[in-house]
Structure 1
Amino acid sequence: MQIFATFEYSSLLEIAITELEGKGVKQIYAVPLDLRKKEPRLLDSIHRADGLSFIDKGMILAFVFATIGASKGFVWEWGPVIWGLIGAGFGFVIGVLINWIIYLFKRHKNESEIRKGKKGDVILVVTCDDHQTDVVEDILWDHKALGLARTK
């Protein structure tokens, strides 16, 4: 029987491995996962999207400013169409700039967390007898396993 578990790399993982060895489990294999080395792409393609959008606030503000510009354009010299287009462009640019600033602050915060020593995850593969599986699973869950799977 094989049990697969994922852990954040910490001293709890080392303690879990030591406890498993104390219970008579000898076939333990730990594989550390590498952290991302390069920054993800900023713009999404049609086949890959990460949920990050720069134009959502821009579209909302473009609608709001276009409505205000068109309504004021009846009084102003160039007319409602021109002022509606100017308002839409102005609102879109402001919305994209707001999203860009928010992105820069979040990215900088995430980079500082990584620099503070955040470690990657570890996959632990434990091969044991069928009668040991419950004990092994209890040990892994008690030491804060992120996920667990059992195969024969």
Structure 2
Amino acid sequence: MQIFATYEYSSLLEIVITELEQKGITEIYAVPLELRKKEPRLMDSIHRSDGLSFIDKGMIFGFMLSTIGASKGFVWAGGPVVWGLAGAVTGFGLGIVLNWIIYLVKRHKNQNEIRKGKKGDVILIVTCEENQISVVEDILWDHKALGLAKTR
């Protein structure tokens, strides 16, 4: 029987391995996962999307400012069509700039967290007998496993 557990790389992982060895379980395999080395792509493709959109706020601001511009255009020189289009272009640009600033702030914040020494995860694979499953599970959960899975 194999039990898979994920851990953050910390001293708790060493304690878990030591406790399992003290219980007589010797087939323990720890696999560290590599951290991302390069920045993810900014623009999405048709096959992959991360939910990040730069035009959503631009469309909203474009709609709002075009409505205001068209209504004020009845009074201003140039007419409602010109001021509606000017409001749409201005609002769309404002929304894109706002999204870009928010993206840069979030990205900078995430990069600072990574630079501060965020550690990778480790997959721990424990091979044991059927009668040892509950003991192994208890040890893994007691030492803050992030997740657990069993296979036969």
Q: Normalising by structure 2, report the TM-score.
A: 0.97
What percent identity do the matched residue pairs reach?
A: 76
Q: State the partner residue of 2:73.
A: 73
Trace 1:49-88 onto structure 2 (pairs within 5 A).
Answer: 49-88=49-88
State the Cα distance separating 1:13 from its structure 2 match. Answer: 1.1
Structure 1 SS opposite 2:134? helix
User: Equivalent residues in 2 for 1:106-145 (5 A)?
Assistant: 106-145=106-145
| Alignment RMSD (CA, Å) | 0.7
The structure 1 segments of at least 4 consecutive aligned residues displaced by more than 2 Å after TM superposition are: none
Q: How far apart, CA to CA, are the structure 2 residues paired with 1:145 and 1:52?
A: 31
- For 1:52-84, what per-residue CA distance to the aligned partner results, in whole angstroms no more than 9, with x for missing partners? 111111111011001001101111111111111
Gaps of 5+ in 2: none
Quote the Cα distance in structure 2 between the aligned partners of 1:141 and 1:6. Answer: 10
TM-score, reference length from structure 1: 0.97
Distance 1:54 1:144 in 2: 38
The separation in 2 between residues aligned to 1:122 and 1:92, in whole angstroms, is 45
Counterpart code for 1:12: L
State the alpha-carbon separation in 1 of the partners of residues 76 and 36 from structure 2.
54
Aligned-partner SS, 1:110? helix
Letter in 1 for 2:98: I
Match of residue 34 from structure 1: 34
Letter in 2 for 1:135: V
Aligned residue type for 1:68 = I
Question: Counterparts of 1:19 and 1:74 in 2: how far apart (Å)?
Answer: 79
The aligned counterpart of 1:23 is 23
AA in 2 matched with 1:50: D
Q: Give the C-alpha shift of residue 36 in structure 1.
A: 0.5
Cα distance in 1 for residues equivalent to 2:55 and 2:144: 39
**Using the alignment, how far apart are the partners of 2:93 and 2:142 within structure 1?**
51
Secondary structure, counterpart of 2:149 in structure 1:
strand
Letter in 2 for 1:44: D
Structure 1 residues not aligned, in runs of 5+: none
Match of 1:97? 97
| Structure 1 residue matching 2:31: 3-state secondary structure | strand
